[in-house]
Structures are given as C-alpha cells and as structure tokens.
Structure 1
C-alpha cells in the first residue's frame, strides 16, 4: 500500500491551523483562562485525532469516491480518533503544561465544568474537522469525474464533427471520381491515391485525440489535393509548417473545419475561386496557426465565426489549454481569416 505522505503532511498542517482557530475562539469566550494552555491542549488533541483518523483511513479499505472507510467503519474511525484525542491528547498536553510551567505557580486542577466544556469542544471540533476532510475528498473526486466526463464529451463531439464533415466531402469526391474515370484516367488515379491517403489519415486521427502538427498538415494536403482536382484552377493553396513545429502535439481534426469552411463558404461561391493559405509560426510562448482564404468574405461566412465546427474547436481548445489557447475568426472584403494560438513549452 502506497501512502501519499505529502498529502498527509498537508492535512496535518490544515489540522494545526484549525486547532489554532479553535483555541482562539475558546479563549475569546473565556478570557480569564491563560491562552497558552488552551493552545497546547487544542494542538495536542487535534494532532492525536488527525493521527488516528487520517493515518487510520490510509490503512483501512476506503471508498474510491471519498477516500474514507465506508459505512459504520468510517464513523467508528472518527469516534476512535475523538476518544483518543480526548484522553491521550489531554494527557500529553497536561504533562507539557505542568513541566513547562504554563499553569503558573499553583497546580492546576480540572474542574467538572471545565472537563465537560473541553469534552464538548473536542467532540464538536472533531466531528466538524472530520466532515470537512470528508467533504473535500468527495468534492475532489466529483471534480475528477466531471473532468473525465468533459473529456469524453469532447471526444464524442469530435466524432460527431467528423461524421458531419466527412460525408459532404466524400459524396462530392466520389461523384467527381466517377466522372473522371471515363474522361481523364490519370487524374482519376491521382484523385484516388489522395483519397486513400486522406481516409487513412482520418482513420488514424479517429483513434487518438491528439497527433503531431505534421500529421494535421499532411491530412490537409491530401484534402486540398482532392478539392483541387474537383475545382481545377479555381483553387490554389499553400501550406507552410516550419520543421521545428512539426512534432507539436495538437488536437486531431483541428484545422480541417477551418479549411472546409473556407472552401464551402468562401471559394466555392466565388466564380473565379481563390486561394487558401495555412501557415504556422512561433510567437513567444505560443504557436500561431493561421488559415486565410481569398473568398467572398463576410458574404459567404454567414455564421460570423459561430458555426458548428468553429464552436467545437473553441471548446476543445478550452478543455485542453484553458484560457491559454484561443481561436479568432474574422472576415472582410478580401476573404476570411482564422487564427489559432496554442501555448507551448519554452
């Protein structure tokens, strides 16, 4: 069994801080009693309760969602800690106070009222402290489960995004391939080769949530080659990936929605077509990836940057990098411009 001693030390320090607060409150209600003995008693009682409860639950079978023994065992452990704190902690604190002289010149005698008050304080503080740690453990577990659920939801949205993107391209490509087989077999062969490479890359991407940026650019190359065969001279493109960024890990299918948006909403509606440029560069602690097109601009991108694919990219970037990553999208008379910024290690 492995014990996280760093976590145990953190719990001990939190317990000592709680004991200090209890002693301060107790002194505020009974200022006629000296503060030093109250503090010593509070610290020793709390430390003994912590030792019994926190170390005890580390060696007992515990529930995964709380880190505490389930059922009556958890209550029994807390009760044992409170009893041990009351008798062992009080005995040790009394010994320290008498030997150090914290009681003063006269020998201190614990009256019945003082014993009852101290017992009540020990009981209430022990229960509150134990419940606080129990609630924190359960909250941390629920937070982990929520993050796992968000990650699974992001994966599911990625699969949904793929199912929405792929058929549109596949049906158009197959229709063009059927027409080319009869009139231009070499172009049909080239189109088929790119289609096979693209589908292979798509299959690999579906098995992982991230992959190297190089793989993302290779996938775009095959996709744009397919589109270039379909659109002919109406489509030209440029892909610029510096070698030092090729192995940067990025979410799979990160750039595909942006490029498909550029073709579907920017270049296809334009009679003369246009050009798409995808470039990556380093800017300080970020890698910036830009997708530009010379399409119809705002007249074609009616969603204003709030379409399904763009929303999914923003959500996936937020889940992976939080506020450290961003997607900016804008259009003007000269076309559309998407800018992704990803944080990278220095």
Structure 2
C-alpha cells in the first residue's frame, strides 16, 4: 500500500534538528581521532553535508509515493533517493564548506584543497553517516507505524471484549426480569400484564439500541428510568427512586447497561428483603484527582445494607458486579473502580469512578 502524506513542517523541523545533532557528533568523533587538526572545519563540513543530504532525502521523499508502513518510497526508488541524497549532499556540502572555510572562517589559505587521504576519509564518513541516518529515520517511521497498528489492535480487542461482556449481561438481565414477571403472574395478573407491556417497551429500547461499545450517560439514565418504572409495577409503592444527572455530564460516554446491574442489585439485595421497600438514588458528579477530573456515579439505596460477607462470584452470585468491574477495567484499566460501601444511615452505596479525560467514543 502506498500513500502521499500531508506535509508536516513540525515533523521536518524535528528531523532536521536530529540531523544537526548527528552531524555534530560525527564532527566531534572525527576531531577525537585527529586532535592535531582544528575542530572548526569538521563541524562546517559535517553540518553542511548533513544539511544537503537531509534536504534531498527527507524533503525529496515527500514528492514520491511512499509505503504506508514506513513512510519511505518502495523498492529502487527509495534506494536511488538515498544514494542521490548522499552524493549530492557530499558534492554540494563540500563545495560550500570549501568556500566558507577559506573566505569566511579563514581556516585555510586561498587555493588550499584537501589531500587525497582527507578526501577519501570525508567520502567514507559521508557515506556511512548518510546510510546510518537514513536507516534511523526509516526505522523510527516503521516503529511508529507498528505502534499505531498495535494500538489499533488493542482498541479492537477492547471493543470486542466490551461487546462480549454486554452480550453476557443482556440475557442475565432478561432472565431476572422474566423471573420477576413469573412471580407476579400468579399473584396479580393485571399488574403482570402491565409489567409485560413495560418489559416489551424496555427490551425494545435496550436490545435494539445502538450496538456501539459506549453511549452518552444521558441514554444510560433513560434506560435506568425505564427499568425502574418496570420494577415499580411489581413493587408498587415499596419502590421510589431519584435520578440526578447534571446537564454538563449528559454526553459523557459510558458502556451500555453499566449501571443497570447496580440498580438491579440494590433492588434484589437491598429493597426486596425489606417489607417497606425503600428509595434508590442514582447521582452523577465529578471529583478532582491529581491526574485530572474523574466521573463519579453513585447508586444509593435505603435497603437492608451489606451482608457481613459478600457472596463469592459465580453462577447467580455477584454476576452484575463482576461484569461492571470487568467492563471498567477493559476501558480504563486500574483507573476505573467500583466500590460497595455500607451507608451510615442504613442501606448500601455503589460508587463507579473513572477518569473523564479518557472517556472517548470508540
């Protein structure tokens, strides 16, 4: 695959500064081996030859189709460009350096010229330095391309894992909802019919939504409202809820169904065992951290509170909490956390925290 790139002046300036540093190293090494000669001439020759060589190769390749993985012309064109750059760089750089060393810096008297041995040494140094420099830039371009590909592969792997976790979560949520419906059918058929209607609407909105790995937090809160209304049919006045989402956080991207398992957990283990039921509050806010602002989403309930020992994750136990933690880890690594806290006034608080700065759509 070949491409033509947009000209990047900053990148070219960075390359040229690297070339200048390399030419000074070459001049210093040359002086170290010949300390009886002045340091000035090697610097002038090295800098000018390096500048012309860089200009021919690095600027010249912008005029030629280049390989996507290296940013360099392919085949004989790339080889010819490097050879032309070294030859022209040596001839032009040496000619200009001769004039400057004689007429401007006065390193040599007029009419002086390099000896045969010095010329051969200069040609050898130019050839070696030109090849080494060209390979260096070739290698860093290829390395950058491979790093981009690896980052892309990691992103696709993360997206695939998020989708896998989501597809595991959807049936879990569906089976739990159907179990609630089954109980209601035997005790109150009219409410069961209303719950079935709401469940159909909820599932249609949830399962036919966008299949992207993230969606705006506002959509997540809308799905929570649908789910809580569905549960309110079964629990009646035993369930009340409050959803608090500031306008500034409505577009923050989160994985679909991130909060639903926490709300389901609050109902199942907090409010259901309590005769009078209780209140669920879902609140989004931000918190300043040393590495930048973090999003904080709290799911609080006024239920029976945490047991003395949480059940071991497994079939039917802590599935939702495990899924939430794995999805946060996939997106945010160690920076994404889920904590369960026993509320001082009774009940439980589940707190989801992750950095706002890394919350981007895929």
Q: Indicate how the Cα distance of structure 1 residues 341 and 175 shifts in structure 2: closer, same or farther if over 3 A, else same.
A: closer
1:221 to 2:236 alignment: no
Alignment of 1:108-257 (within 5 A): 108-177=112-181, 180=184, 183-206=188-211, 208-230=212-234, 236-257=240-261
Is the Cα contact below 8 Å between 1:298 and 1:336 reproduced in 2? no
Q: Which moved more, 1:181-190 or 1:109-118?
A: 181-190
Deviation (angstroms), 1:313: 1.2
Which has more helix, going by share of residues? Answer: 1
Q: Give distance in 2, aligned partners of 1:106 and 1:91.
A: 14
Partner of 1:299: 309
Q: Indicate how the Cα distance of structure 1 residues 38 and 171 shifts in structure 2: closer, same or farther if over 3 A, else same.
A: same
Partner of 2:326: 311
Q: Give distance in 2, aligned partners of 1:193 and 1:306.
A: 25
Deviation (angstroms), 1:138: 0.9
Is the Cα contact below 8 Å between 2:337 and 2:354 reproduced in 1? yes
Deviation (angstroms), 1:339: 2.9
Q: Give distance in 2, aligned partners of 1:42 and 1:270.
A: 83
Q: Which moved more, 1:296-305 or 1:213-222?
A: 296-305
Q: Give distance in 2, aligned partners of 1:287 and 1:113.
A: 70
Deviation (angstroms), 1:107: 5.1
Q: Indicate how the Cα distance of structure 1 residues 274 and 168 shifts in structure 2: closer, same or farther if over 3 A, else same.
A: farther
Partner of 2:83: 79
Partner of 2:296: 288
Is the Cα contact below 8 Å between 2:101 and 2:108 reproduced in 1? no
Is the Cα contact below 8 Å between 2:261 and 2:321 reproduced in 1? no
Deviation (angstroms), 1:242: 2.0
Which residue among 355, 358, 361 is the counterpart of 1:342? 355
Q: Give distance in 1, aligned partners of 2:248 and 2:152.
A: 32
Deviation (angstroms), 1:25: 2.0
Q: Which moved more, 1:334-343 or 1:14-23?
A: 334-343
Q: Indicate how the Cα distance of structure 1 residues 317 and 87 shifts in structure 2: closer, same or farther if over 3 A, else same.
A: same
| Structure 2 unmatched runs, 5+ | none
Q: Give distance in 2, aligned partners of 1:300 and 1:233.
A: 28
Deviation (angstroms), 1:297: 4.5
Which residue among 12, 19, 23 is the counterpart of 1:15? 19
When the two chains are superposed, the root-mean-square deviation of aligned CA atoms in Å is 3.1
Q: Which moved more, 1:156-165 or 1:329-338?
A: 329-338
**Per-residue Cα deviation, 1:123-177 (whole angstroms, up to 9, x for no partner):** 1111111111111111111111112112211221121111111112213334544
Secondary structure at 1:279 match in 2: strand
Q: Give distance in 2, aligned partners of 1:310 and 1:236.
A: 26
Deviation (angstroms), 1:179: 6.3
Q: Give distance in 2, aligned partners of 1:193 and 1:252.
A: 19
TM (norm. structure 1) is: 0.84
Is the Cα contact below 8 Å between 2:295 and 2:356 reproduced in 1? yes
Deviation (angstroms), 1:116: 1.8
